[in-house]
Amino acid sequence: MRLLLDTHVLIWAVAEPERIPAPLRNTIADGGTDVLVSTASAWEIAIKTSLGRLELAPVDDELLARFRFRHYPIALRHAAALAELPRHHHDPFDRMLVCQALVDDLALASADPALGAYGVDLRWG
């Protein structure tokens, strides 16, 4: 399975794994799961850190390697998909994650039930 982490799931996986339901925590820890971290999440974390709303090390190659996660870059096809994405959700970072999941057929780990309105394969619990 290829599993894209929503930003809050990434933060919790790194800093507060007990906030993630055990079944999803097990899926993330499973060596057979390809756990992906979007550039959008790294960008969102950097913004929140710079505003003083979050204390977390930057998302870099070392952090990803430590948790066996892989970087998932934003491609032009993901940006283009935003033009057709309904406005069910207004957070630009979440909208990009949804586009990445839909365009590339990824499961999306998120506690935000509103993202399910897009028909994405939403994983929580």
Q: What mean pLDDT comes out for the span 105-122?
A: 97
Q: For residues 30 and 96, give the distance between their C-alpha atoms in angstroms, rounded to a whole number.
A: 25
Q: Quote the CA–CA distance of 64 and 14 in Å, as a whole number.
A: 10
What pLDDT shows up at residue 123?
A: 97
| Phi and psi at residue 2, to the nearest 5° | -105, 120
- Fold classification of 2-123 is Rossmann fold (3.40.50)
**pLDDT tens digits for range 14-60:** 999 999 999 999 999 999 999 999 999 999 999 999 999 999 889 99
Residue 125 is predicted with a pLDDT of 74
Reply yes or no on whether the pLDDT at 77 is more than 80.
Answer: yes
Which run of H or E residues covers position 2?
strand 2-5
Local confidence band at 80 (pLDDT 50, 70, 90 cut-offs): very high
Query: What is the Cβ-side half-sphere exposure of residue 107, based on CA atoms within 13 angstroms?
Result: 14
The domain limits of the chain are 2-123
**Burial level of 103, CB count in 10 A (0-12/13-18/19+)?**
middle
Q: How far apart are CA 60 and CA 57, in angstroms?
A: 8
Comparing 125 with 53, the larger pLDDT belongs to 53
What spatial distance separates the first Cα and last Cα of the chain, rounded to whole Å? 16
Sequence-distant (≥ 6) Cβ neighbours of residue 110 within 8 angstroms = 6, 8, 9, 94, 97, 122, 123, 124
Q: Supply the pTM of this predicted model.
A: 0.96
**Average pLDDT of the segment spanning 84-98:** 95
